Structure 1
Amino acid sequence: MPVPNRAGLNIVKLDVKDVRFPTSLGGHGSDALHTDPDYSCAYVTITTESGKQGFGLTFTSGRGTEIIVLCIRSMKRFVVGKNAADIFADFATFWRAITNDSQMRWIGPEKGVAHLAVAAILNSLWDLWARLENKPVWRLLVDMEPEELVSTIDFRWITDVITKEEAIQLLKSKKAGKEGRIKTLLENGYPAYTTQAGWLGYSDETLKKLCEKYLKLGFTHFKVKVGLNFEDDYRRCSAVRRYIGDDKVLMVDANQAWSVNEAIEWMKRLAPLKPMWIEEPTSPDDVYGHAAISKALAPYGIGVATGEMCANRVMFKQFLQSGGMQYCQIDSARIGGINEILSVYLMAEKLGVKVCPHAGGVGLCEMVQHLQYWDYACLSGTMEGRLVEYVDQQHEHFIDPCVVENARYLAPKLPGYSTQFLPGTIEKFGYPRGSEWQRMFKEGVFPPPDEAETVNA
């Protein structure tokens, strides 16, 4: 696929907004460690001299978003003044430049605030590229020749698992049947599981109502948050198992709450409820710990899922090599954009690990559907044992929201990465000057922001 013509594609502006939604008021998104999240994002808009725009974001949980916004502003120098066509023509080089500046890499490298900022910028660039080609991102990726797609990836530090040449050959080996798989996606969509019924802050009554709701919507896979109190976990998980029946699938998610030995013992006691996986059982950086948990729980038929807070492709490489994950959970905003995510998919495929993306936060469902569509069409070629997380929150704020029917993500059809907010969303929920936040401050629903948080006002 040729890159767009350079004419009119000089990037003249990069704007970033702090956007927050008051989800903590209803306990939405609550888990063992994130007890009061306000689902938020740093929202990037890039504009070319011809007026073409790209929209991207990185997901956050409220406080701290202002820090990522400042980091994105500091990274403008890598983007403004560049020609978008030149970036796309040598995307891997651009990726290394923005992630490995000799001074800014000290606050990473390729992790934390710096990498979250990079993800928002990279997501906006991919959105722009897809819009210029008049395709949804998944179709942009699917239509690339293996050499073109691989040229967007920086393989530094992962060639001991997969080289550029191996990646090209792997993609070429999967070409047979590609058009049929695209047809399947367009006709049938991609399977989803729900976490919406399982937030830790929900009452038992809410839990029951939401299980009933999502069963009627066709869901067969339900994830429940655990990790604070075993008796409460067993009671809640038993209730979910009772509501959904033995023929449906239960998964549990501890969000890093346990030590390694605690995770093993806790899950052995939950094993009678037949959970398919335990997600993030311990520190997201503990490769050996996850490997030990995986080995201990294998006789119980419980896999380990992790990756939503995995910092970069090198961490993923080690988890995949060690046997520390049986379900690889890439996140569309945690590591460095599509470029780096593609490298994780390639390593997972070579090492035989299923990819089941993390989603649910602001814009995450919108983005990961594109990635999993590409994976099925061009790489894994199968949906067996693979699912995309679905949480029914904040979709109403997007021009092109994800559509899930009968527990399947339907194919995005509009150009881009499905990341553009509707007009008015920023005016209402931009922090702290948005009209909804000003109202809540005035009514005492939330305390007014402190000095640090007003830096982006």
Structure 2
Amino acid sequence: MLHKIINLTVRDVRFPTSLEQHGSDAMHSDPDYSAAYVVLDTDCGLKGFGLTFTLGKGTEIVVCAVKALAGLVVGKSLQEIVSNFRGFYRLLTSDGQMRWLGPEKGVIHLATAAVLNAVWDLWARAEGKDPKRIVSCIDFRYITDVLTEDEALDILVKAQEGRQQREDQMLKEGYPAYTTSCAWLGYPDQQLKQLCTDALKSGWTKFKVKVGADLEDDVRRCRLIRQMIGPNNTLMIDANQRWDVDEAISWVSKLAEVKPLWIEEPTSPDDILGHATIAKCHNRVMFKQLLQASALQFVQIDSCRLGSVNENLAVLLMAHKFQVPVCPHAGGVGLCELVQHLILFDYICVSANLSNRMCEYVDHLHEHFANPVVIQDAHYMPPKDPGYSCEMLESSVKRHQFPEGDVWKLHQNK
């Protein structure tokens, strides 16, 4: 635990997924799945790996923001950080000058998350954690009117009963997942049909469809997918913040015939009142406000936009207090690798409940990771290697680093 962090490197890693319309939706028609990829080096040789997800252009800005935070990390020992993780979190998010650019929004938020995730990975590789340690990592500032530190500790202590049985269950059965890989907005009908057919053969029963660009086309595509998956399987729709409030109500009413379980991101996540019936928000403070505004049916956290594992833990605990099921997002490079830890922690150590719970899975780019996510029968199987599972293969990083990697040199020459 006396590992001293002696260096922080951050790289702009991009994959040209826009060439085949992977990840396309109503707001992002040509995403190149990318990451600001952070590596922490220590004086004993142990490394920590972290990332936050981006869509190509602008990743260089997140990289610059990470470099601006590096001086707050390099030179510290792991023991110094984890003995007061809450203080370290505030150090990164409360710098007297840089917090003007964030800290729980946009580029600074993404940069902070990449650094914090790398520290979590380093810590996980070094040793285990207990309930008090977990709670000590969460910054309760701004959320104590909903969840106090004592309440959070009580939740974790109570969940220790039956914990081993739940862990054994996850090792055997895995955590239920749903797929978005079949229905990106830019995919042609024949591809949708083939992907749905293949997914059904592989045991998938829950499907999410991107909507929001054209109402008539949405109705047609959703009818097609409902026909492909049958009446008894689950269908969800996702508009990626495309609509105004009234437009969302009208649009979803037209899509009600396909019986969607939920509509995800119908409008701006900053619109608390307009968004009060949707369980999606981009930081823990807004999530708290949503809890106070209405009785939610689902919570959908995003391991990218929500930020670091510290913030995700706060949301999981708040959701449990209000008995709201959590169904995380995980589209994008590395996000499935990250989110599997959150869902397993939630079930084993917090909620002890699988009712109405599932986690997103997309079948893209896992081959670039040292410990890629494992899916069996539409379930996430627990990772067995220490860490946060976001270490990328160095060969993949070099090939996809922007703009000097071989993949981008080839892409630019076309």
Q: For this structure pair, what is the TM-score category when the shorter chain's length is used for normalisation? A: over 0.9
Unaligned runs of 5+ in 1: 134-139, 295-303, 444-457
One-letter code of the match for 1:442? N
Q: SS at the partner of 1:18?
A: strand
1:305 and 1:90 map into 2 onto residues whose CA distance is 31
Give the AA of the match of 2:341.
H
Match of 2:332 among 343, 361, 368: 361
1:180 deviates by: 0.6
In structure 1, how many angstroms separate the alpha carbons of the residues matched to 2:295 and 2:54? Answer: 26
Partner of 2:206: 221
Matched, 1:211 2:196: yes
The AA in structure 1 aligned to 2:361 is Y
The RMSD of aligned alpha carbons is 1.1
Shift of 1:393: 0.4
Question: Residue 407 of structure 1: which of 378, 381, 406 is its match?
Answer: 378
User: Could you tell me which residue of structure 1 aligns to residue 409 of structure 2?
Assistant: 438
Percent identity, aligned pairs only, is 54
Runs of 4+ with >3 A deviation: none
1:88 deviates by: 1.0
The Cα of 1:433 is off from its aligned counterpart by: 0.1
Number of corresponding residues: 414
User: Residue 276 of structure 1: CA displacement?
Assistant: 0.2
Q: Does 2:175 align with 1:194?
A: no
Match in the other structure for 2:19 = 25
Q: SS of the residue aligned with 1:184? A: helix
Superposition TM-score, scaled by structure 1 size? 0.89
Q: Cα deviations across residues 310-350 of structure 1 (Å, max 9, x unaligned)?
A: 1x210111122212743212222323411111111111111
Deviation digits for residues 297-320 of structure 1 (CA, Å, limit 9, x no counterpart): xxxxxxx3423xx1x210111122
* Partner in structure 2 of residue 326 of structure 1: 297
User: Equivalent residue for 1:245?
Assistant: 230
Which residue of 2 is the match for residue 380 of structure 1?
A: 351
Measured in 1, the distance between the counterparts of 2:390 and 2:232 equals 36
SS of match in other structure, 1:353 = coil
What corresponds to 1:58 in structure 2?
A: 52
- Partner SS, residue 306 of structure 1: coil
Post-superposition Cα deviations, 1:172-197, rounded to whole Å, max 9, x if no partner, equal 22221111101101111100000001
Q: How does 1:285-304 map to 2 (within 5 A)?
A: 285-291=270-276, 294=277, 304=278
Q: Please state whether the residue corresponding to 2:273 is helix, strand or coil.
A: helix
Residue in 1 that maps onto 2:363: 392
Aligned to 1:95: 89
Residues 123-166 of structure 1 show CA distances to partners (whole Å, capped at 9, x for unaligned) of 11111111112xxxxxx4xxx33222101111000000010011
**Residue 105 of structure 1 pairs with residue 99 of structure 2:** yes
Distance between the aligned counterparts of 1:335 and 1:306, measured in 2? 10
1:277 deviates by 0.2
* 1:263 alignment counterpart: 248
The residue that corresponds to 2:39 in the other structure is 45
Counterpart of 2:280 in structure 1 is 306
In the TM superposition, what is the alpha-carbon distance from 1:430 to its structure 2 partner? 0.1
- Matching residue of 2:114: 120
AA of the residue aligned to 2:78: A
- SS of the residue aligned with 1:355? coil
Which of 19, 30, 40 aligns to 1:36? It is 30
Equivalent pair of 1:282/1:290 in contact (CA under 8 Å):
yes
Q: 1:426 aligns with which of 392, 397, 403?
A: 397
2:61 partner amino acid: I
Residues 67-106 of structure 1 show CA distances to partners (whole Å, capped at 9, x for unaligned) of 0000000101110011111101110110011111000000
Name the structure 2 match of 1:84: 78
Q: Deviations over 1:378-432 (max 9, x none)?
A: 1110111111100000100001000101100011011111111113111110000
SS in structure 1 of the partner of residue 178 of structure 2:
strand
TM-score, normalised with respect to structure 2: 0.98
Determine helix, strand or coil for the equivalent of 2:394.
coil
Distance 1:78 1:336 in 2: 18
Q: Is the 8 A contact 1:191 1:386 kept in 2?
A: yes
